[in-house]
Structure 1
């Protein structure tokens, strides 16, 4: 029996700040089956109790070693059969991955590194990309189906940001970063939003806090859901919730019909 579930991913840029703004209220109305958050910037004990009115029976938090930095969380109505935080990929213990297994499906919630600080961080970002893809391929070799979500910190194509020409030399739109997404897709993964919506324009998930960028929709699409090709026929929808505020990112999500998740 197949069940359609909704999974939503959101870089909250501080879970406590978003909670204080009351910016999680929409979750109680929408009720996604699985919620994946990035950049929570909190230890487990710092996350407000009953943040989602205890709707989620299972939650996994991966906090960064550095306090108030990075961090990821999965809250789920489904009990995972296994979970991990992949320290072998996140070598600097920055809390960048939460992995849940639901039967034969592996959900990877990832906050990929930002390469804008300096050349050293850009190099780490690219190394992280490669370690991550190698790991995904090892899962595929085991016969696993894969769902990847999170802040990839790279816009793939010119259509994925408002001003591609002026950002060609900016980390987040460098050719070498974009080539990694090409490589990911060539290895048998699907950009779910483009799969559903084709070349729909002006669809972004991040806006600078400067220059009224969000009100002008001068943004970047850097938050993604990728799925392995074997799940393509199960994908029912992919969306960007641009109306949701509270962070410099907005949530993105998919609806997918899958059996044997429980």
Structure 2
């Protein structure tokens, strides 16, 4: 099974840059997007043989997530179940027979960590959400289910270790590389989840998924790895490939992918 995730930083813009062709070439069983930046009815995509599921932010032109799947999920959730965190369309969770698939666009802590308290609340609530799904506890509005593993993907807005960004020393303490954010990501992994890229590529350097538009960052590969596929530890042995597709353009992020033997 091939799974793909991509922060498109504005789907309407990427649609003009060959999104349909990129989508077709991946031929993913499930394709997740973050930062779609649109509302219902603002785009028409021709993606045959895929069902589509969208979460929209209340604020227009902001945030947003979407999942396209060759199979119809058993059910789809669009919120964590925490009112103050569920206004920005940051999650789409699809239940399949084998696992829960969770697409997430984690809030940015912003300059000088201005939104760090909101970010910490999100990280705690998201971790609890995924653990609850894994145990078969579905938020209000969803249908009860048996326990099953979780596959989560998206823009987590954090580089976990120094190997995950080009310039760790100068970025220490900044949004995306603060001790607080890195600590919460560690808590997520310690709760029973595996970073699939590092599982298969533990020592690979220069593997990044986001580059600033400034200073020729992408040309110089001065990037950050902030887009991930994580799986419940019980699925780790079924991971056959985890890749970063830095050759795919159209956004300041590139797609990441996972192949699972399920």
- TM-score with structure 2 length normalisation? 0.92
Say which of 120, 126, 143 aligns to 2:120: 126
User: Counterpart in 2 of 1:79?
Assistant: 72
- Structure 1 position 120, deviation (Å): 4.6
User: Counterpart in 2 of 1:237?
Assistant: 241
- Structure 1 position 35, deviation (Å): 0.4
**C-alpha distance in 2 between matches for 1:62 and 1:6:** 22
**1:253 aligned to 2:246?**
no
- Structure 1 position 227, deviation (Å): 0.2
**C-alpha distance in 2 between matches for 1:251 and 1:61:** 18
Alignment check: 8 A CA contact 2:112 2:175 kept: no
| Gapped regions of structure 2 (runs ≥ 5) | 137-146
**C-alpha distance in 2 between matches for 1:60 and 1:128:** 22
- Structure 1 position 182, deviation (Å): 1.1
User: Counterpart in 2 of 1:157?
Assistant: 161
**1:228 aligned to 2:221?**
no
User: Counterpart in 2 of 1:97?
Assistant: 91
SS class of match (1:45): coil
Map residues 28-107 of structure 1 onto 2, 5 A cutoff: 28-50=24-46, 52=47, 54-56=48-50, 58-89=51-82, 91-107=85-101
**C-alpha distance in 2 between matches for 1:197 and 1:24:** 29
Deviations, residues 150-169 of structure 1 (Å, cap 9, x unaligned): 00000000000000000002
User: Counterpart in 1 of 2:149?
Assistant: 145
User: Counterpart in 1 of 2:215?
Assistant: 211
| Gapped regions of structure 1 (runs ≥ 5) | none
User: Counterpart in 2 of 1:18?
Assistant: 14
Q: Per chain length, whose mean CA-contact separation is higher, i.e. which structure has more relative contact order (CA < 8 Å, sep 6+)?
A: 1
**1:110 aligned to 2:104?**
yes
**1:197 aligned to 2:193?**
no
- Structure 1 position 44, deviation (Å): 2.4
User: Counterpart in 1 of 2:5?
Assistant: 9
SS class of match (1:83): strand
**C-alpha distance in 2 between matches for 1:172 and 1:14:** 20
**C-alpha distance in 2 between matches for 1:99 and 1:191:** 19
**C-alpha distance in 2 between matches for 1:217 and 1:119:** 25
- Structure 1 position 92, deviation (Å): 4.6
RMSD: 1.3
- TM-score with structure 1 length normalisation? 0.92
**C-alpha distance in 1 between matches for 2:225 and 2:164:** 5
Alignment check: 8 A CA contact 1:223 1:252 kept: yes
Q: How many residues align?
A: 251
User: Counterpart in 1 of 2:142?
Assistant: none
SS class of match (2:95): strand
